[in-house]
């Protein structure tokens, strides 16, 4: 299964702080959207998912004012290229879940993808801190 993960997520690359924020915000939104789908067949703890969703929501709220400011300046370069690729990637993940009717195996595949996403988000966090 090739969900067409953006190359920027697979390879080590430099990000400007503004680009990292745009990408992080976009990723958090999509991950939040995926996890609010029908995950009843996953066997996952509802409490853990609710806690994760609460944390994702909080992170998005903290990034949103900065994201809006960056979007108004329109000086992003890397973010402009990766964001559309992210949209396609997450669309493919959702299509996969839907085609498999949200069964446990499909959720396991998506869970692995999301864990990879969190690893990438951790790398992006380093660009924001600097």
Q: Render 11-77 in DSSP notation, one character per residue.
A: S-----HHHHHHHHHHHHHHHHHHHTS--TTS---HHHHHHHHHHHHHHHHHHHHHHHHHHHHT--S
130 versus 116: the higher-pLDDT residue is 116
Write down the pLDDT at residue 78. Answer: 53
Average pLDDT estimate for 59-82: 80
Question: What is the average pLDDT score of the chain?
Answer: 87
Domains of the chain: 15-36+44-129 (1.20.1250.10)
- Whether 34 shows a pLDDT value over 80: the answer reads yes
The band of 77, judged by pLDDT with boundaries at 50, 70 and 90, is: low
Average pLDDT estimate for 110-121: 92
* 8 A C-beta contact, residue 14 and residue 126: no
The band of 46, judged by pLDDT with boundaries at 50, 70 and 90, is: confident
Average pLDDT estimate for 65-77: 79
């Amino acid at each position: 299964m090739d969900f067409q993960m953006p190359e920027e997520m697979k390879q080590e690359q430099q990000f400007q702080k503004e680009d990292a924020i745009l990408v992080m915000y976009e990723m958090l939104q999509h991950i939040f959207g995926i996890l609010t789908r029908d995950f009843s067949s996953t066997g996952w703890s509802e409490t853990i998912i609710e806690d994760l969703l609460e944390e994702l929501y909080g992170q998005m709220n903290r990034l949103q004012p900065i994201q809006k400011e960056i979007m108004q300046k329109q000086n992003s370069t890397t973010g402009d290229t990766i964001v559309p690729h992210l949209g396609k990637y997450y669309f493919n993940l959702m299509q996969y879940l839907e085609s498999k009717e949200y069964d446990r195996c499909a959720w396991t595949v998506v869970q692995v993808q999301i864990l990879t996403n969190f690893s990438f988000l951790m790398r992006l966090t380093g660009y924001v801190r600097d």
